[in-house]
Amino acid sequence: MGSVRGSGGAALRALVSVAAGLLACGGASEYDYVSYQSDLGPYPGGRFYAKPHQCVAIPADLRLCHSVGYDKMVLPNLLDHETMAEVKHQASSWVPLLNKNCHMGTQVFLCSLFAPVCLDRPVYPCRWLCEAVRDSCEPVMQFFGFFWPEMLKCDQFPQDDVCIAMTTPNATEVSRPKGTTVCPPCDNEMKSEAIVEHLCASEFALKMTIKEVKKENGDKMIIPRKRKALKLGPIRKKNLKKLVLFLKNGADCPCHQLDNLGHYFLIMGRQVKTQYLLTAIYKWDKKNKEFKKFMKKMKSPDCPTFPSVFK
């Protein structure tokens, strides 16, 4: 039929009323369990709820979607996450990407799947919206050693049926914010919650000084001088002395934290094959109010324990 359009939170508020008018099958309350079977098409999970679904409040700590523009979601969601704990964890993997502002439709696209609005039938994101978000955000993801996951393959989403969208398909330039030239792992806000999110999403964390930064095969190679493990992850203690870090695809983009190597850094990362990739870098600044908050939270970070969506 067509797409549900808008921008930001207004798009999703409009979706609640427009899609409800298109899809409502009776007087079911948004708090009811709903189960509907339809012949509208073979999209992911079918265009029906295969299991009993409940409309629940979007909790404040579901940070990916809490500000999306509506306050209740269907559970299980359209990615078959059956518990709120699983939704929170899987969604938390995407919060750092959302903060990179790689596409203005990223939150709408992801939340249409992770926290779908309460309707009698599921409404999936438009295929072209998926493609626009993927094409803008996958290059950013590659700085962190990730690729667009199989579970979000765009060809599984509808083209001609009712679907969730941001703007018209030909208005892709309007839907993309002006990009920054800063290497994405270096483009970080000094906020305690954001630092904890990076810590949870990373496999290892180090307090270190840097001896030298070189360019190698399109990457920045970072050679530590002193290092202390805060979270070892895949790094063995015996390998700490020989540890070399890489800023993936970062040879030619600026990383302002590396302009001055005369102090300690908080560096987080993950292992990809034989390389240890830098995924976040902060100046170790104990005088900074937000960094001090992070140091307190670091002692017992509230990190989810489900396997990551990217694994």
Tokens 């921008």 sit on residue: 7
* CA distances to 92, 146, 161, 198, 236 from 221, in Å: 28, 19, 48, 21, 20
User: Residue 41 — pLDDT band, cuts 50, 70, 90?
Assistant: very low
DSSP for residue 57: E
List pLDDT tens digits, range 179-211: 447 999 999 889 998 898 888 888 999 999 999
Domains assigned to the chain: 3-164 (1.10.2000.10), 184-298 (2.40.50.120)
Q: Give dist(CA 12, CA 4) in Å, integer.
A: 9
Average pLDDT, the chain: 81
Report the pLDDT averaged over residues 113-121.
93
Beta carbons within 10 angstroms of residue 203's beta carbon: 18
What is the C-alpha end-to-end distance of the chain, expressed in Å? 36
H or E, element range at 280: strand 275-283
Which tokens is 284 given? 């170790």
CA pseudo-torsion sign 27, 29, 33, 37: positive
Given this model, what pLDDT does residue 167 score? 56
Cis peptide upstream of residue 76 (ω within 30 degrees of 0): yes
Given this model, what pLDDT does residue 37 score? 32
Q: CA nearest 247: which of 223, 211, 229?
A: 223
pTM: 0.71
Report the pLDDT averaged over residues 281-303.
90
Query: How would you classify the pairing of strands 204-216 and 163-164?
Result: unpaired
Query: Would you say residue 293 has pLDDT above 50?
Result: yes
User: Residue 48 — pLDDT band, cuts 50, 70, 90?
Assistant: low
